[in-house]
Amino acid sequence: MTPLLQVKDIAKFYGNRIGCTDVSFDLYPGEVMGIVGESGSGKSTLLNCLAGHLAPDAGQVFFDTREAGLKDTVTMSEPERRMLGRTDWAFVHQHARDGLRMGVSAGGNVGERLMAVGARHYGDIRAQAVDWLDRVEISEDRVDDRPSAFSGGMQQRLQIARNLVTGPRLVFMDEPTGGLDVSVQARLLDLLRGLVRQMGLSAIIVTHDLAVVRLLADRLMVMKDGNVVETGLTDQVLDDPQHGYTQLLVSSVLQV
């Protein structure tokens, strides 16, 4: 089986400081990979390198494109990469405001990706927008409201709808539940798990919340100071951490 995403020795430096270095892994279709680590451990840098938002200083990122099979997204042309960014890839930001157009209605936000790939029929675009709002549990009568009128949890769900409307195969998520209260978080996770399973999505989830990866991720990668210190199946890493830092991380989770 060809991996959907193949990462080889990715490194990114900020001057003399290390963003992330020597990261390699394969992600197979339908697999969800979690990246955990403390603040400043390079997980967001890594995610941005993979998603093409940052240019890595070394390494390759091969993506299994629909036309040409495995292709290095670091060296591919910018139009191609941006095309991937609005068709096969999706990026869910930590702050919904970064991923939404706050001045545009919910329907317009969801429809933007459709229009970006050439949809020119208002009725169809709107029907799809309503359908997707329904899937993320936003009622139809909010379709013409702006995201600024939505609660934080709704904004995050809207962002997810907006990203998934074109049927991407790979979703990058940067702390998707950050800043949400626990009950909203639980519903969002439930929703995400449902969508990921139902659509057969592959996903890379960056988070510092171990409960999130426990629920969503098949595999886990633990990062510290820009390096990957441990990888493995999620339950294995969380239940039997080998590396000292992972042990610290697991034991630091507060118990209720």
Partner 1 sequence: MTQNGQYNFAYLDEQTKRMIRRAILKGLAVPGYQVPFASREMPMPYGWGTGGVQVSAACLTADDTFKVIDQGADDTTNAVSIRKFFERTADVAVTERTSDASVIQTRHRIPEEPLSEDQILVYQVPIPEPLRFLEPRETETRKMHALEEYGLMHVKLYEDIARHGNIATSYAYPVKVEGRYVMDPSPIPKFDNPKMEMAAIQLFGAGREQRIYALPPYTQVVSLDFEDHPFDPSKADHLCALCGAEHTYLDEVIVDDDGTRMYVCSDTDYCATRRAEGHTGTMGTPFTEDAA
Identify which of residues 14 and 122 has a Cβ nearer to partner 1 in the complex: 122
Identify which of residues 111 and 176 has a Cβ nearer to partner 1 in the complex: 111
Task: Note whether 61 and 146 are within 8 A (CB).
Answer: no
Distance CA 187, CA 20 (A): 32
Identify which of residues 103 and 194 has a Cβ nearer to partner 1 in the complex: 103
CB atoms within 10 A of CB 8: 16
Identify which of residues 58 and 115 has a Cβ nearer to partner 1 in the complex: 115
- Find the shortest distance in angstroms from Cβ 46 to partner 1: 24
Sorted by sequence, the CB contacts under 8 Å of residue 75 that are 6+ apart come out as 60
- Find the shortest distance in angstroms from Cβ 150 to partner 1: 16
Distance CA 184, CA 176 (A): 12
Identify which of residues 113 and 224 has a Cβ nearer to partner 1 in the complex: 113
Query: Which residue shows structure tokens 């595999």?
Result: 219
Query: Which residue shows structure tokens 């930590």?
Result: 94
- Find the shortest distance in angstroms from Cβ 5 to partner 1: 23
- Find the shortest distance in angstroms from Cβ 79 to partner 1: 5
Identify which of residues 129 and 203 has a Cβ nearer to partner 1 in the complex: 129
Residue type, 203: A
Residue 87 DSSP code: T
- Find the shortest distance in angstroms from Cβ 100 to partner 1: 12
- Find the shortest distance in angstroms from Cβ 36 to partner 1: 32
- Find the shortest distance in angstroms from Cβ 115 to partner 1: 4
CB atoms within 10 A of CB 98: 11
Identify which of residues 121 and 193 has a Cβ nearer to partner 1 in the complex: 121
Query: What long-range pairs does 220-223 form, CB within 8 A, spacing at least 24?
Result: 220/33, 220/34, 220/35, 220/36, 221/25, 221/33, 221/34, 221/35, 221/36, 222/36, 222/37, 222/246, 222/249, 223/20, 223/35, 223/36, 223/37, 223/41, 223/42, 223/43, 223/46
Distance CA 247, CA 241 (A): 5
What does each C-alpha distance from 77 to 38, 80, 172, 228 come to in angstroms? 33, 5, 20, 29
Binding site for partner 1 (CB under 8 A): 78-79, 82, 86, 101, 103-105, 107-108, 111-113, 115-118, 120-123, 125-126, 143-144
